[in-house]
Amino acid sequence: MNISHTENIAAISGANAGIGLALTRKFLLEDWQVIAIIRSDFPSDDTLIQEAVHTGRLRIYKTKDLSDYSSLMRLIEEIKSNEQRIDILFNNAGGSFPTLSYSKQGREIHYELMTVVPYIILMELKELIKKGHFKTVINTSSEAIKFTRKFTIENLEHPKVFRKLIGPYATSKLALSLWTQAIAPELAQENIKIRSVDPGSTNTLRKETRSGLPLLVLPLMKLFFSPPAHGASRLYEAALGQHQNETGVFLIKGKITELKFKEQAKNVLKRINEIYEHEFCYPEATHISDQK
């Protein structure tokens, strides 16, 4: 398929389910192209999705585990080999996990997947973003960050206590918004804007997966939480709405909101950049250093 230079391109991680799927469908209906970064398949009975795959308007890049750096590296290299630009990057992949678990790199899985990996994806795809029309990055955060009472780097990577939703999930989303704020001035020098966004209380429950939500929240989600399309609209507005010229901000219900622990923003950015440089870019050097 020949890609028109005037057509817009959105890259969306977690594009195959929940908010990511709703966002993918929204962009396809508005004649955008979508680069889908996914871990499992799209619904086979979704006509819009299947037609877009057939015509090349939806291009799929799949890996079983985004938090596994070797798998992530292969996926990113595939994107860089096949794509010419990205107009808007949505770092949206994630979720709440039911128990304390760790990535292959040895860090708590919420933190690895929802704080560190979005940074790696941004840094690796930055040259494609610089070629885009909008040069915008949207990180999916959460209003759950307001429940964070204590915040340290050590607790992010190796929490002593696990609590569903208001534990590692909330602190990892807060860390995501903090580094978003901290990196904004640096990205602005390359004309890239970045924002973090709460998509709102969304019903993203799936029968085939165990929930990382507290038991009391589950019936409330089914009864009162909004459908994924509502969360997708929040992300869409954050990218293209009234705050499209802002950078480094955290948005809740379309309003710029102050972050807790903002004095830690530079420390978070420094730490995840160390992880990116030493473990993702130059893992061999780290391995040699560990053996000494």
What's the CATH code of the domain at 216?
3.40.50.720
- Tell me which residue range forms the domain holding 247: 9-291
- Mean pLDDT, the chain, rounded, equals 90
SS3 9: strand
Q: In the chain, what percentage of residues exceed pLDDT 70?
A: 87
pLDDT band at 5 (very low <50, low <70, confident <90, very high): low
What is the structure's pLDDT at 221? 53
227-263 pLDDT, tens digit per residue, is: 899 999 999 999 999 999 999 999 999 999 999 999 9
Q: Is the pLDDT of residue 204 over 90?
A: no
Judge whether residue 217 has pLDDT over 90: no
Beta bridge partners of 202: 226
Residue 111 covered by a domain: yes
> What is the per-residue pLDDT for 283?
75
Q: Is 255 exposed, middle or buried (0-12, 13-18, 19+ CB in 10 A)?
A: exposed
pLDDT surpasses 50 at 138? yes
CA-based torsion, 63, 113, 177, 140: positive or negative: positive
pLDDT band with cut points at 50, 70 and 90 for residue 10 = very high
pLDDT greater than 50 at residue 286 = no
Q: What is the mean pLDDT of residues 36-49?
A: 96
Average pLDDT rounded to a whole number, residues 131-138: 98
**Beta pairing, strands 255-256 & 250-252:** antiparallel
Within its chain, how far is the Cα of 3 from the centroid? 26
Residue 196 near residue 252 (C-beta atoms within 8 A): no
Q: What is the pLDDT of residue 227?
A: 85
Total domains present in the chain:
1
Residue 207 has pLDDT above 60, yes or no: no
On whether residue 1 sits in a domain, the answer given is: no
154 inside domain: yes
Q: Is the pLDDT assigned to residue 288 strictly greater than 80? A: no
For residue 82, pLDDT over 90 is answered with yes
Side-chain half-sphere exposure of 13, counting CA atoms within 13 A: 29
Compute the distance between CA of residue 77 and CA of residue 153 in angstroms, rounded to an integer. Answer: 29
* Tokens 């799929």 found at: 60
- Angle at which helix 18-29 crosses helix 47-55, to 10 degrees, equals 60
Residue range 279-288: mean pLDDT, rounded: 70
Contact predicate 63/75, CB 8 Å = yes
In a domain, 149, yes or no: yes
- The distance in angstroms from the start CA to the end CA of the chain is 51
pLDDT at 14: 96
pLDDT at 282: 85
Does residue 292 register a pLDDT over 50? no
The pLDDT value recorded for residue 287 is 44
